Chains A and B, each alone.
Chain A
């Protein structure tokens, strides 16, 4: 394979000469997520959010493992068929992915991009398959409301008043299987059915943006510029007009970040209108007391896997862009008064008959 299989066209835009297939995916959702508008569409539902474990960190790990096992069984593949797994989460030292990989057995590339980990790992999986490095790769991520709260904010038993700009870390996990098109033809995944084939045609690697927002309770405002930067560079790099997309799914700007992204794009005369949706707004209903919306590495992955990809597969949409966004601060940098650097990675998926 030559390196031209993956061409870096301009700043951070990756065009895949042999677009890899998004062959299968699996979503595992917690209780509150299941009570939301997408509740019926998750592959697995978890009612007991401790997963029968002593700690929430272990529960998160179990969610993660369950999503990876599910994507393997849905696609009829075995762990030994998969060359690489790109995975990460929100916890310190990405312990969820690192510890879960002990039992999964697939060679692991640990990824940290905060809530952008979903599209970052998908981008890397697509890159590794498109370049011919791997025949098959899995991208996976998980987050758990309780483990994230205790790491980033306050103890759970301590009552703390939520703010209108606060976002709610989603409990769940998702895994995506990316396959080389030639491999897939010889060994069709059963879950694929007769619907269109989903291909990852290009991607854009995020640039870290920082517009001086310091409030960790307002991550939507901090992340909107990163999403705008990546979307604009993706349009420029891919040559697509915004109208070519049926859906641009950002995650997780929430109700504060979403209008800011629209505003930043409008400054560049880009008006995506109703094409632009946000996973943080879509995951929960307004009456679920999540304030500005959902967040967490699982949020955009859950919405993508439960809503966006099925619509591509049913032929209701032809082209979508997943733009997961991440706040790259830590509790320590926030306490030291630093502003919040953010990033967004874009992955373009198209459905072909």
Chain B
């Protein structure tokens, strides 16, 4: 029996950095090519659906200017519906960012915690957690838009 250090010195088995290096070596690599392929396919398909929705709306009298909001509403509705019937959480493990990045993924990020935290109550559960994932996107999106907006306001006349 080799004498293993009984002393409570930190990391007696192996140097910490060395261990972390070894841990990275045994880690199975992420299937980057496969993930990229499915992200492309799923994401592309969702955007294609968006384009079709937009085309249908344009044919019913909406203009290029007014079509954006109803398109967004319908796509959000589809994302919410697929989440509610339990299909969106099966799509994302395959599609990854292809399912998360489109606006349907944004809807999924709002609806999922809304359903999930129902058991914790309508106010402190659903209400309080509804922006758990979408909140950061809105907060930093709006903040970035604020900063850009200030700059463009200051530069009005120079650049508009």
Which A residues fall within an 8 A CB radius of B? 10-11, 54-55, 150, 154-165, 207, 209-213, 218, 221, 224-225, 228-229, 232-233, 235-236, 239, 241, 255-256, 259-260, 263-264, 267-270, 292
Contact = CB atoms under 8 A, between A and B. Distances in A.
Interface residues of A, dominant DSSP: loop
A287 B119 CA distance: 33
Nearest to B28: A164
Given A256-B23, A260-B23, A225 B13 contact: yes
Contacts, number: 122
Contacts of A213: 20, 23
B69 interface: no
A54 B16 contact: no
B9 to A, nearest CB: 11
Contacts of B93: 159-162
Interface in B83-108: 83-84, 86, 88-93, 95-96, 99-100, 108
Given A55-B119, A159-B88, A221-B23, A164 B29 contact: yes
Contacts of B119: 54-55
Contacts of B90: 159
Q: Across the A-B interface, give the 5 residue pairs with the lowest CB-CB distance, nearest first.
A: A159-B92, A155-B116, A158-B112, A157-B112, A164-B28
B139 interface: no
B58 interface: no
B131 to A, nearest CB: 12
Contact of A158 (B6, B23, B89): B89
Contacts of A221: 23, 26-27
A233 B116 contact: no
A235 B23 contact: no
Contact of B12 (A158, A229, A263, A292): A229
B19 A155 contact: no
17 contacts: A156-B116, A157-B88, A157-B112, A158-B116, A158-B133, A162-B93, A213-B23, A218-B27, A221-B23, A221-B26, A221-B27, A225-B19, A228-B13, A229-B13, A233-B4, A268-B4, A292-B28
A290 to B, nearest CB: 12
Contacts of A228: 13
Interface in B1-20: 1-4, 6, 8, 10-14, 16-17, 19-20
A218 B91 contact: no
B76 interface: no
B46 interface: no
A268 to B, nearest CB: 5
Contacts of A225: 11, 13-14, 19
Given A155-B112, A207-B8, A267-B14, A161 B28 contact: no
